[in-house]
């Protein structure tokens, strides 16, 4: 744009709407419309909208119709095809216990439900990142999830060494980077889970 035109313009910077603000707005609408909600479900909608209130409202309307006016966490993840956080919490416990068999069986269960392996491994990287930010009170505000999920993250983070979380994040992220070029994508993810289990002093087959 030409400087002469730019000098006559007013510039407005629009920031991304925070998760908490989106949840509050959706809750206000739900209260007015008499729609039953769970905060964890609204939080997932807010994350999926990625700071866009219009998208959040569109998703909220969709879930409300599909769930018969009962916007629960379960209804939201089922309708949006979002992988339940519990799978990631369970897997990190497997890694800490060195339990390779259970980790591989959990992956198989996830894939059998129709989730893409790359979607899963990307989510695992995010899970390790979230655990890391929970290790320090200074960074915990970077965690954008519902209150109940935040408590789960804090609890698991305290049980994990920072070194374990950093190595886990690096392995998961490397798998995500290599996924597209891999000829055997499932094997790549399985090998990553095995290596994650080997980070622990405990080793189980």
104 in the same domain as 44: no
Instruction: Give the pLDDT score at 131.
Output: 96
Asked whether residue 52 is assigned to any structural domain, the reply reads yes
24 in the same domain as 50: yes
Instruction: Work out how many domains the chain is built from and give that number.
Output: 2
62 in the same domain as 132: no
92 in the same domain as 76: no
Asked whether residue 6 is assigned to any structural domain, the reply reads no
Asked whether residue 150 is assigned to any structural domain, the reply reads yes
Q: Among 80, 95, 112, identify where a domain stops.
A: 80
Say which residue, 65 or 51, is predicted with more confidence.
65
173 in the same domain as 120: yes
Asked whether residue 164 is assigned to any structural domain, the reply reads yes
69 in the same domain as 91: no
**Domain assignment of residue 140, given as a range:** 85-197
pTM of the model: 0.82
Place 123 in a pLDDT band, splitting at 50, 70 and 90.
very high
Task: For residue 58, give Cα distances in angstroms to 36, 48, 65.
Answer: 17, 11, 11
Instruction: Give the pLDDT score at 202.
Output: 62
φ/ψ region of 8 (left if φ > 0, alpha if ψ in -120 to 50, else beta) reads alpha
Query: Comparing C-alpha atoms, which of 170, 94, 83 is closest to residue 129?
Result: 170
Any bridge partners for residue 71, and if so which?
A: 37
162 in the same domain as 65: no
Q: Where are the beta strands (DSSP E) in the chain?
A: 36-37, 70-71
166 in the same domain as 90: yes
Asked whether residue 13 is assigned to any structural domain, the reply reads no
Asked if 14 contacts 34 with a C-beta cutoff of 8 angstroms, the reply is: no
Asked whether residue 203 is assigned to any structural domain, the reply reads no
With a CB cutoff of 8 Å and minimum separation 6, the contacts of 115 are 81, 83
Instruction: Give the pLDDT score at 146.
Output: 83
103 in the same domain as 37: no
Asked whether residue 172 is assigned to any structural domain, the reply reads yes
pLDDT digits (tens, 9 = 90+) for 1-30: 778 887 788 877 777 788 888 999 999 999
130 in the same domain as 89: yes
């Amino acid at each position: 744009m030409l400087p002469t035109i730019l000098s006559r313009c007013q510039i407005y910077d629009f920031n991304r709407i925070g998760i908490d603000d989106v949840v509050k707005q959706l809750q206000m609408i739900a209260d007015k419309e008499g729609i039953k909600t769970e905060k964890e479900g609204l939080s997932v909608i807010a994350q999926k909208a990625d700071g866009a209130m219009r998208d959040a409202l569109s998703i909220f309307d969709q879930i409300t119709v599909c769930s018969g006016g009962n916007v629960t966490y379960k209804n939201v993840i089922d309708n949006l095809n979002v992988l339940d956080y519990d799978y990631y919490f369970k897997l990190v416990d497997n890694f800490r216990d060195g339990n390779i068999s259970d980790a591989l069986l959990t992956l198989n269960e996830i894939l059998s439900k129709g989730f893409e392996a790359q979607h899963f491994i990307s989510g695992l990287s995010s899970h390790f990142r979230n655990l890391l930010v929970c290790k320090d009170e200074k960074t915990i505000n970077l965690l954008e999830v519902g209150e109940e999920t935040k408590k789960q993250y804090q609890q698991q983070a305290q049980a994990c060494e920072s070194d374990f979380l950093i190595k886990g994040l690096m392995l998961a992220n490397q798998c995500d980077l290599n996924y597209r070029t891999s000829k055997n994508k499932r094997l790549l993810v399985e090998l990553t889970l095995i290596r994650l289990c080997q980070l622990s002093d405990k080793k189980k087959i």
